[in-house]
Amino acid sequence: MTTQQPTSAQSERCPWCGAEVAAAQTSCPGCGGTLTFKPRRDDSGWVELPPIKDMARLRVGDSTCQIEGEIVPVADFNLAEGDGVYFAHHTMLWRDTSVTVRTLSMKGALKRMFSGMPLVMTEALGPGHIAFSKDIAGEMIAIPLQRGQAVHVREHVFLAAMRQVAYDWMQSGVYYKTGDARSLDQHYPIGQFLDEFTAADQHGLLLLHAGGNAFVRELQPGEWLLVKPTAFLYKDPSVRMGMCMDNIAGMVGYRSILWLQLVGPGKIGVQSAYPPMEAERRLITYTSGRVCGAWEGQRFASPMAATSGRRDSRARQLLAASAAATIAPTPVRTPPYPRSPTDYRIGLEKLIAESLVDGELPPEAMERLAVVAAEHGLSAYDLRLLINHVKMKISGEGH
């Protein structure tokens, strides 16, 4: 004899946030994820967040949040008596007259003004409806924060959060400088500050907006990868950040490409539609530096490992990732040619160029270069690669 289990026993876990969901529901009340859509993970470990189903309803205590639309989604909060939600004032779309709106005092107003962060944070108190939206196409990301959980979010990604979620902000520590010794400009590709959201005493809901599609990745301890800084969305507090720079040889000089280095353990989120970085076309003097110890550990994330080729090739590291030699921010030295003293690639290339005679290296110059290359750990094969690179560069400049 068999008996049918009660409905409560047929509940399951949301594959996206882990919340318990009744068997009759088709979307998660915690994050809005579609339960019939199983997570798909590629070979490199990325998981695409499924777009929240149109009219999906999230529940936080006695209040609900309904996500309306797909291309430019709207978050429609139905606040219960005494419940509240805070937000950046420019994201409010409409509200009921019964909803009370007031401003929240923000610490460090002067710093926020100079960094471009919103000076005013607004809070809405129920009962009643209030809706929020960003004026760009993309996806809504719902992050249900459990008690004691925190998340760090890039500037201008935040949409709204329930009042149970505490808000703070902190220095990002990621920057680069342009110009020469006489005029240095400091830039922050992910913003000077990070927003920090914490569910201290009880769980709450945080809403973010991603441009295009959103992807998440769980980094293992010591695992790291490089992403475009403007594609970064959020991370767990345990994830460390640094800045790397590639110098790609062109017809005349080099083109710099900036990367945000993220080192596990922890979860990160990125967006597929992100603004370009025009500053990469300028003279970048140096960066805030990579995460110390991560590069030496050789714990590559899968996408980086697939493109790194021979990991033991110092010439490849010098040509394709000059930031590998940058351990910490180094002050600019003598004008008018400031550079980091750790960037020995530039010195080697200059020595090779000065030693060339009619496009070839004399034997005595080759012996001198072999000694210098050995001091920096380059093999004879790596030295030949570097010499050929300099020859091609000079030949290109000559045309």
Residue range 31-83, pLDDT digits in tens? 766 666 666 677 777 887 777 778 888 888 889 999 998 889 999 999 999 89
Mean pLDDT of 258-284: 84
Check if the beta carbon of residue 214 is closer than 8 Å to that of residue 139: yes
Asked whether residue 397 is assigned to any structural domain, the reply reads no
* Peptide bond just before 336 cis, omega within 30 deg: yes
Assign 345 a pLDDT band (cuts: 50, 70, 90). Answer: low
Asked whether residue 107 is assigned to any structural domain, the reply reads yes
Residue 151 has pLDDT above 90, yes or no: yes
Asked whether residue 109 is assigned to any structural domain, the reply reads yes
Residue 314 has pLDDT above 80, yes or no: no
**Tell me, what DSSP letter sits at residue 20?**
E
Region at 3 (left for phi over 0; alpha for psi -120 to 50; beta for the rest):
beta
**What total of structural domains would you count in the chain?**
1
Residue 329 lies in domain = 11-342
Mean pLDDT of 379-398: 72
Asked whether residue 286 is assigned to any structural domain, the reply reads yes
Lookup: tokens for 349: 């290339």
pLDDT for 124 equals: 94
Q: Which residues are registered as beta bridge partners of 255?
A: 248
Asked whether residue 348 is assigned to any structural domain, the reply reads no
Residue 125 has pLDDT above 70, yes or no: yes
Asked whether residue 385 is assigned to any structural domain, the reply reads no
CATH number at residue 142: 3.60.160.10
